[in-house]
Amino acid sequence: MPRHSQNNTSRGYFTSGERAMLAGRYGTKSARLGADSMRRFNQCALCLDEAHLPVACAQGHLTCRECALTSALEQTAAIERTRDELARLERQQEEERERAREDARKKVLCDFERQTALGGRSQAGSSLARRRSRSPSPRAAVASGSGSSSRALVAREESGISSLPERIAAAAAAASDAAEAELLEQQAAEKRARFPAYWLPSLTPTARSGELEDLKKEAAKMTKPRCLVGSEHGHESSIKALVDVKFSPDPTDGKPTCPSCRKAITNSSTLNVLRRCGHVYCTACTTTLLGKRGEKAVCLECSKAIKDPAKDVIALQREGTGHVGAGNVEVKKAGLAFQG
């Protein structure tokens, strides 16, 4: 009997200890974030350092100006690469279609030549004898010729094709389309019948079948640079829409404070930035500033007017202090559950 300490996973069933070992590898995992895991209110959301020349997007994500411009330039370059790759794949697909049409035309010509070579010799003698035995008199030939020509004219008018070259071209196009469809069906059948031995060099796939469709979807999403803070795909933003954020320092120690109440700004403070000037206020002072009746609200630092509070006041995003009552303190990662 083997030692269980070294072979504790060799049984045909799972014990409670083995399930406890697998609990940290499968399923949804969660972890509690402390104060050290929270980004400070004046830190860049991209480089995680103290923001140098801080700017904010329309949704209140604080970043360095250099980080924001670098991210926008990298996304622009990625969009150009995606468009170039999409154009290359489209050209490659068009070349493959042209090769398929050429193969179809060659197949039609080969079939026609084969049928002509096989049936021409056997039917030459019988057709010549039949024409001699059934040759009509000159008057009957003239009458029959006029009748057949009138019937052919009516048939051409009914079919919509008035000349022989057009009929030949239409028949050739129909035969080419049929041959192309047959070749595509044969190629699809060969792919289905082929064993997917991807480990063999001769059967290694060169590209995925839906690569062009995936690139088209990606190109449709990445039309302009985006702010990549807050979610996986980010949100729409532009360099012109960035707002220069200006924290008001305390005259004594230089720490950021609210210019109205002069309270020190911390991670527990809920902050708003004015879009027209960039000064940062706490939420209580912003509410008091905008709540004046019959008087136009202005910034207390630069006296710039707040025309539209819905557009001119942007709430800065914060991560909290690490305590339960001050923001999100738990992160979760969804995964596949263990089926054992």
In a domain, 329, yes or no: no
Residue 236 has pLDDT above 70, yes or no: yes
pLDDT in tens, 158-185: 455 557 777 777 777 787 777 777 777 7
Residues 48 and 124 reside in one and the same domain: no
Can you give the CATH number for the domain in which 301 is found? 3.30.40.10
Domain boundary among the residues 190, 218, 246 is at 218
Residues 55 and 118 reside in one and the same domain: no
In a domain, 328, yes or no: no
In a domain, 2, yes or no: no
Stretch 275-304: mean pLDDT: 85
Residues 293 and 193 reside in one and the same domain: no
Looking at every residue in the chain, the average pLDDT score rounds to: 77
Residues 204 and 235 reside in one and the same domain: no
Residues 214 and 288 reside in one and the same domain: no
pLDDT in tens, 301-329: 898 988 888 899 999 998 876 665 555 67
Domain boundaries, position 232: 40-71+222-320
In a domain, 213, yes or no: yes
pTM higher than 0.75: no
Q: Tell me, what's the pLDDT at 141?
A: 45
Residue 152 has pLDDT above 50, yes or no: no
- As for how many domains the chain has, the answer is 2
pLDDT in tens, 48-99: 999 999 999 999 999 999 999 999 999 999 889 888 888 888 888 888 888 8
In a domain, 28, yes or no: no
Residue 218 has pLDDT above 90, yes or no: no
Q: Tell me, what's the pLDDT at 150?
A: 46
3-state SS, the chain, equals CCCCCCCCCCCCCCCHHHHHHHCCCCCCEEEECCHHHCCCCCECCCCCCECCCEEECCCCCEEEHHHHHHHHHHHHHHHHHHHHHHHHHHHHHHHHHHHHHHHHHHHHHHHHHHHHHHHHHHHHHHHHHHHHHCCCCHHHHHHHHHHHHHHHHHHHHHHCCCCHHHHHHHHHHHHHHHHHHHHHHHHHHHHHHCCCCCCCHHHCCCCCCCHHHHHHHHHHHCCCCEECCCCCCCEECCCCCCEECECEECCCCCCEECCCCCCECCCCCCEEEECCCCEEEEHHHHHHHHCCCCCCCECCCCCCECCCHHHHEEECCCCCCCCCCCCCCEEEECCCCCCC
Residues 147 and 230 reside in one and the same domain: no
